[in-house]
């Protein structure tokens, strides 16, 4: 079995190629990966199958896009249609910011072909939540809740990153909210994709906004992969055999699966290279990782932007380097 991690190979058709030669693959086909690969595709699916999402319009012409934004006013959200490494969304709090984002994407081509089409969306007020479900083409199995924090600085300040930390469970995702999300968003998506002839096999990671005025969830975006660093805290709490569960998804047998979770909480704090998410130095030697992991059986260090240099030293080669993850009875804070 192959489990495909990043979104780009999925959109490029890696799962199609693997399935074609008979290898069980956990990850969607390129057609199904369009849920993340094209925001316009996702929005049109929402329209067709009555999945709650923000009001939107799609544009390829900057003049028309600007006209629409001036009519709607700010705050408003401008999104590149394609994959932009998590940087293709601008929450414009002023009209000038929105117009600048349109120019950047449609005129200057800052995201290449990924930004040759933009989605302009209403700004939703509320609290964001993440929701994960394993899907076998027809059945969906919700995972435990997790919440990440994207801003680089302590206290949720500074620019957005790929994620500086996460915890599970997430108090905002109550049992009632889980029921509503499954009924109104996840299951209609799975059935809709099957009806469109591109069954989804893999993990659906829904970015949600719990709307302030209604208290109900709306779909902001889909990712077709596990979140990073949310995946780390989920894996710390999962007591079922992950490989067997994912293989069941590949075989279309999730209806026979139930998951066992630790009742304890889990938290991950990301160690990043100095300067991230801006330019950062590479090649810094990292010491005592093994020693840190031996502190407790409840501690696990997940590697991300690391490599071994010619002298056998562990070195930092990426922006986000290590994920220090722990499980325990209470969540006190982070230091």
pLDDT digits 0-9 by tens, 97-155: 999 999 999 999 999 999 999 999 999 999 989 999 999 999 999 999 998 888 888 88
pLDDT at 9: 97
Please list the residue range(s) of the chain that carry CATH number 3.30.1490.20.
55-123
User: Strands 2-3, 25-26: parallel, antiparallel or unpaired by DSSP?
Assistant: parallel
Other Cβ atoms within 10 Å of 63 Cβ, number: 11
SS3 state at 328: strand
Taking the domain 55-123, which CATH number applies? Answer: 3.30.1490.20
Please list the residue range(s) of the chain that carry CATH number 3.90.600.10.
265-328
Please list the residue range(s) of the chain that carry CATH number 3.30.470.20.
35-50+126-256
pLDDT at 87: 80
Say which residues have a Cβ less than 8 Å from residue 121's Cβ, sequence separation at least 6: 54, 55, 56, 76, 77, 78, 79
CA angle 231, 323, 314 (to 5 degrees): 130
Is 236:142 a contact under the CB 8 Å cutoff?
no
> pTM of the full predicted structure?
0.91
pLDDT at 331: 64
pLDDT at 234: 97
DSSP state of 160: E
CATH 3.90.600.10 fits 265-328, yes or no: yes
Q: Which CATH superfamily is domain 35-50+126-256 in?
A: ATP-grasp fold, B domain (3.30.470.20)
DSSP letters along 163-218, please? Answer: EEEEEES-TTS-HHHHHHHIIIIIHHHHHHHHHTT---EEEEEEEEEEETTT--EE
pLDDT tens track for 268-307? 999 999 999 889 999 999 999 999 989 998 999 999 999 9
Average pLDDT of the chain is 94
Dihedral sign (CA 242, 248, 254, 257): negative
pLDDT at 161: 81
Ranges in the chain, pLDDT < 70: 331-335
Is 306:297 a contact under the CB 8 Å cutoff?
no
């Amino acid at each position: 079995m192959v489990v495909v991690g990043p979104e780009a190979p999925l959109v490029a058709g890696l799962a199609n190629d693997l399935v074609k030669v008979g290898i069980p693959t956990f990850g969607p086909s390129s057609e199904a990966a369009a849920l993340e690969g094209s925001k316009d595709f996702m929005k049109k699916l929402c329209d067709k199958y009555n999945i709650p999402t923000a009001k939107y319009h799609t544009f390829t012409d900057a003049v028309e896009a600007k006209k629409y934004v001036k009519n709607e006013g700010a705050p408003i959200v401008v999104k590149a249609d394609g994959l932009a490494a998590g940087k293709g969304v601008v929450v414009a709090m002023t009209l000038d910011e929105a117009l600048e984002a349109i120019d950047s994407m449609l005129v200057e081509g800052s995201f290449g072909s990924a930004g040759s089409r933009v989605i302009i969306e209403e700004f939703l007020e509320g609290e964001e939540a993440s929701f994960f479900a394993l899907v076998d083409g027809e059945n969906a199995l919700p995972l435990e809740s997790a919440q990440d924090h994207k801003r680089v600085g302590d206290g949720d300040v500074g620019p957005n990153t790929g994620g500086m930390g996460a915890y599970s469970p997430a108090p905002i995702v109550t049992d009632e909210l889980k029921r509503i999300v499954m009924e109104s968003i996840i299951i209609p998506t799975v059935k809709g994709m099957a009806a469109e002839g591109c069954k989804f096999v893999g993990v659906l990671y829904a970015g949600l906004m719990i709307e302030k005025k209604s208290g109900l969830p709306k779909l902001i975006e889909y990712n077709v992969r596990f979140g990073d660093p949310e995946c780390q805290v989920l894996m710390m709490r999962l007591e079922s055999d992950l490989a067997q569960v994912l293989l069941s998804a590949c075989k279309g047998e999730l209806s026979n699966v139930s998951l066992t979770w630790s009742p304890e909480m889990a938290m991950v704090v990301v160690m990043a290279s100095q300067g991230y998410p801006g330019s950062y130095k590479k090649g810094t030697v990292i010491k005592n990782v093994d020693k840190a992991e031996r502190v407790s059986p409840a501690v696990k260090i997940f590697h991300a932007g690391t490599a071994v240099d010619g002298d056998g030293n562990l070195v930092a080669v990426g922006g986000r380097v290590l994920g220090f993850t722990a499980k325990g009875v209470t969540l006190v804070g982070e230091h």
